[in-house]
Structure 1
Amino acid sequence: MRLTDYTDYSLRTLIYVAVHPGELVTIQRVADAFGIPKNHLIKIVQKLGQAGFLHTVRGRAGGIELGRPAAGINVGEVIRTMESDFHLVECFQGDDNHCIITRVCGLRGVLSAALRAYFEVLDAYTLQDLVEKPAALNRALGQGEAASLAGIPVKGMVRKAHPSRKTAGETGSQ
């Protein structure tokens, strides 16, 4: 099972904000730290705000902060909120299930049990658990921000090229 980039970026945004307690963080700072397009993060922040995970402040001096304490933000809840589809195979689809062996196959039960176990683990952790080493996270995030601003990929950081920017080594002809 793989989470979407949308959910991945949601978790990264929450982690970034959590290691900057007491300050309003701009979406641009998060985008720079992770090399994520700002326009994509705007949609994510809006949904995180609607769900109460973030509090957003509009305007020139605005930004984002946690909507509740990090210890009160459950990882499983965030993933359930941000992911739209946990239908692992066709037999999870209800009315759109056209698999002819659904009634006699044990796969659905096995995958359902696996999904429950997956969420049992995620539900055991909060955002606070993910940011137990804020100093180390801030150092890594600082490296990511500096590299992103310079257009340099950092080891361990996935940086997706923005379509309007050229990355190192790209030429004008494609």
Structure 2
Amino acid sequence: MLFTRASEYALLALIYISDKEKPQDVETMALELNISRSFLAKILQVLAKDGLLHSYKGAKGGFTLVKTPKEYTLKEIVDSAEKKQVSVFECSQGVCPDNKGERCHMFPVLLGLQKKMDEHLNEITLADIVNQK
């Protein structure tokens, strides 16, 4: 599975917010990151609903991180932005869509690949990404 624009924009927004001390408003972020304001707002609301961001209303409102950058994993960010677990293939979450899992020679290989990918995405933190700038 390839990450969608939602994942990309969620990561860009979290990187942007992680560098700031005050709440960041959607309008400013959208302009700075060259992202559609409405799409960014939707993504940030999802991240806030999932507990990854604090949301503040009002003239000085905006979004801040809930945790430190080293406490965010790439997996949790992408899972939140995508609204589903990241999967290598449709069946790699452990359920064969064709009910052929017991007879499929690829099924165990895909499950193993999914496990390795999940472990890797859980090892990469927002701080790791920010520090590579």
TM-score (structure 1 length as normaliser): 0.66
AA matched with 1:17: I
Structure 1 Cα separation of the partners of residues 92 and 122 of structure 2: 25
Superposition pairs of residues 1-174 of structure 1, within 5 angstroms: 1-20=1-20, 22-83=21-82, 84=84, 86=87, 88-89=89-90, 94=95, 97-98=97-98, 101-132=100-131, 137=133
What is the CA-CA distance between 1:92 and the residue it aligns to?
5.7
1:149 corresponds to: none
For the pair shown, which has the larger CA radius of gyration, 1 or 2?
Answer: 1
C-alpha distance 82-118 of structure 1, shift in aligned 2 (>3 A): same
For structure 1, list consecutive stretches of 5 or more residues without a partner in the other structure. 138-174
Structure 1 distance, partners of 2:51, 2:39, is 19
CA distance in 2: counterparts of 1:89 and 1:4, whole angstroms: 16
Q: Tell me, yes or no, if the aligned pair for 1:26 and 1:64 is still in contact at 8 Å.
A: yes
Deviations 1:3-30 (A, max 9, x none): 121111111111111122x122111222
State the number of aligned residues.
Answer: 131
In structure 2, the CA distance between the partners of 1:80 and 1:35, relative to structure 1 (3 Å rule), is same
Q: Which moved more, 1:77-86 or 1:47-56?
A: 77-86
Structure 1 stretches (4+) deviating beyond 3 angstroms?
Answer: 89-95
Change (3 A) 1:91 1:77: closer
Q: Once the 2 structures are TM-superposed, how far is the Cα of residue 81 of structure 1 from its aligned partner?
A: 2.5
Q: Give percent identity, aligned residues only.
A: 24
